């Protein structure tokens, strides 16, 4: 009896896990990161399915867990066998994971790089073996082994953050009023920061030029405001320093342009510990659970939602086409030059998320449950 119960329990767990993956529910808790094998391809059991290697950067940030799980579930549903690896944000680990994928006979590689500049040599091996490479979310630079790029419209992510700021501060009607702004973006090895940051600045530049937006710390250059590994604790300590040095005398901080949620979280923590003025506008990106809670609580103004289910689905279509020798879907052949030429891309659409629409966007769509967002 006990045995039967245990079997039934195990079976129901398998069913509910499958339903979770297949339905795209994304509140996957992050399992401990080993930096080595995450999934044993042989265990996935899709008989005769061709092997797809999926290399993800880290389990530290919520979105990559969702991306990996969504892609694995969708690829398996399409009949492929998946070798999914996370590299603990360690470049040599990611390189050796990709080497193993090539050695193990993966027929397509999907790679979200840690450092877009660091994979040239290992990808030469893929090219020699005619293995197509899809750069996932982050463009892999200076390698002619990259066949396709699946991502979001990253420039538009920045533009939406910039537009949000312009509207929230009503900058077009600012007159002589000035507003204090500080900036933070992500890892300098991530090509995406050029799109996020420059996209936002393209909207804010006229107001900076007019003297309406002023940066008291003087830290305005992309490289200066970058954050290694997009780490929240690094963001927090940089902002604690900024707040202590430039705002401790009561100077009002009006707005922080943060490129994503992990950096916004660090900023919010710094504000909580080291700032007593009126709360600034704070942008973000990804709609990570902690940040959606902050949006609801009023300590983050907005995030940009990038539905990882859509990106996974598009990437699976690309893999499927490559496996079958047909043309993968692309909708952009102009924007993303990786140093060897334009990489044909599919860009999914980002959407602004605020208190106004988070329920519809995130909960009603099944991306999160109410329980995920309960404080
Ligand atoms: C992604 C963002 C993410 C960041 C940190 C970027 O490449 O596009 O969605 O927040 O990496 O993981």
44 found inside a domain = yes
Tell me: do 130 and 25 sit in the same domain: yes
Instruction: Examine the fold and report which residue of 305, 326, 361 is the final residue of a domain before the chain moves on.
Output: 305
Asked if the model's pLDDT at residue 181 lies above 80, the reply is yes
Ligand 1: residue of 192, 226, 312, 351 to mutate (most ligand atoms within 8 A of CB) is: 192
Asked if the model's pLDDT at residue 19 lies above 70, the reply is no
Tell me: do 171 and 75 sit in the same domain: no
Cα torsion angle, 176, 177, 180, 181, sign:
negative
Asked if the model's pLDDT at residue 71 lies above 70, the reply is yes
Ligand 1 binding pocket (C-beta < 6 A) is 61, 63, 137-138, 186, 190, 192, 230, 260, 262, 285-286, 306
363 found inside a domain = no
- The tally of domains found in the chain comes to 2
Q: How far apart are CA 327 and CA 339, in angstroms?
A: 23
Asked if the model's pLDDT at residue 261 lies above 70, the reply is yes
Q: Which domain holds residue 132?
A: 5-153+307-348
Tell me: do 207 and 118 sit in the same domain: no
3-state SS, residue 14: helix
93 found inside a domain = yes
Comparing CA positions, the residue from 341, 330, 333 lying closest to residue 142 is 341
Tell me: do 18 and 160 sit in the same domain: no
Residue nearest to atom 9 of ligand 1 (CA): 286
Cα-based torsion angle of the residue sequence 14, 308, 60, 228 in order, rounded to the nearest 10 degrees: 170
Tell me: do 285 and 316 sit in the same domain: no
For residue range 37-60, list pLDDT tens digits in order. 444 443 433 344 699 999 999 999
Tell me: do 18 and 109 sit in the same domain: yes
365 found inside a domain = no
* Packed helices 62-77 and 308-324: angle between N→C axes, nearest 10 degrees: 40
Tell me: do 199 and 105 sit in the same domain: no
Q: How far is CA 174 from CA 154, 167, 168, 169, in A?
A: 28, 11, 11, 8
322 found inside a domain = yes
Asked if the model's pLDDT at residue 74 lies above 60, the reply is yes
pLDDT at res. 268: 98
pLDDT at res. 21: 30
The answer to whether 244 touches 274, Cβ cutoff 8 Å, is: yes
Instruction: Examine the fold and report which residue of 305, 333, 365 is the final residue of a domain before the chain moves on.
Output: 305
353 found inside a domain = no
Tell me: do 293 and 188 sit in the same domain: yes
Query: Which stretch of 25-29, 198-202, 274-278 has the lowest confidence by average pLDDT?
Result: 25-29
Residue 181, classified by CB atoms within 10 Å of its CB into exposed (0-12), middle (13-18) or buried (19+), is buried
pLDDT at res. 10: 39
Other beta carbons within 10 angstroms of residue 15's beta carbon come to 10
Tell me: do 158 and 300 sit in the same domain: yes
Tell me: do 146 and 190 sit in the same domain: no
Tell me: do 109 and 252 sit in the same domain: no
pLDDT at res. 25: 32
Tell me: do 289 and 315 sit in the same domain: no
Pull the structure tokens for residue 150: 């699946």
């Amino acid at each position: 009896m006990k045995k039967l119960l245990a079997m039934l329990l195990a079976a129901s767990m398998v069913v509910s896990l499958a339903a979770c993956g297949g339905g795209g529910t994304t509140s996957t808790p992050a399992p401990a990161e080993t930096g080595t094998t995450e999934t044993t391809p042989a265990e996935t059991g899709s008989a005769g399915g061709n092997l797809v290697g999926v290399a993800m950067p880290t389990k530290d940030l919520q979105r990559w867990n969702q991306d990996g799980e969504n892609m694995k579930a969708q690829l398996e549903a399409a009949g492929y066998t998946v070798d999914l690896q996370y590299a603990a944000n360690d470049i040599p680990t990611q390189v050796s994971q990709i080497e193993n994928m090539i050695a193990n006979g993966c027929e397509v590689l999907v790679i979200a790089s840690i450092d877009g500049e660091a994979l040239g040599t290992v990808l030469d091996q893929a090219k020699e073996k005619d293995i197509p490479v899809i750069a996932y979310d982050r463009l892999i630079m200076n390698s002619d082994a990259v066949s396709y790029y699946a991502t979001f419209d990253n420039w538009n992510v920045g533009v939406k953050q910039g537009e949000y700021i312009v509207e929230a501060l009503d900058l077009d009607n600012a007159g002589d009023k000035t507003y204090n702004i500080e900036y933070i973006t992500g890892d300098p090895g991530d090509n995406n920061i050029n799109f996020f940051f420059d996209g936002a600045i393209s909207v804010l530049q006229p107001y900076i030029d007019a003297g309406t937006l002023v940066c008291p710390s003087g830290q305005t250059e992309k490289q200066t405001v970058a954050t290694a590994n997009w780490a929240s604790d690094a963001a927090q300590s940089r902002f604690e320093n900024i707040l202590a040095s430039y705002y401790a005398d009561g100077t009002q901080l009006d707005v922080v342009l943060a490129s994503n949620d992990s950096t916004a979280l660090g900023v919010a923590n710094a504000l909580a510990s080291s700032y007593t003025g009126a709360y600034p506008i704070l942008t973000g990106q990804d709609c990570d659970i902690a940040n959606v809670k902050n949006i609801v609580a009023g300590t983050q103004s907005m995030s940009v939602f990038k539905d990882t289910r859509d990106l996974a689905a598009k990437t699976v279509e690309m893999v499927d086409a490559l496996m079958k020798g047909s043309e993968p879907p692309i909708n952009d052949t102009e924007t993303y030059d990786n140093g060897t030429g334009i990489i044909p891309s599919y860009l999914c659409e980002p959407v602004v998320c605020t208190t106004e629409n988070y329920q519809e966007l995130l909960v009603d769509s099944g991306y999160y449950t109410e329980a995920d967002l309960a404080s």
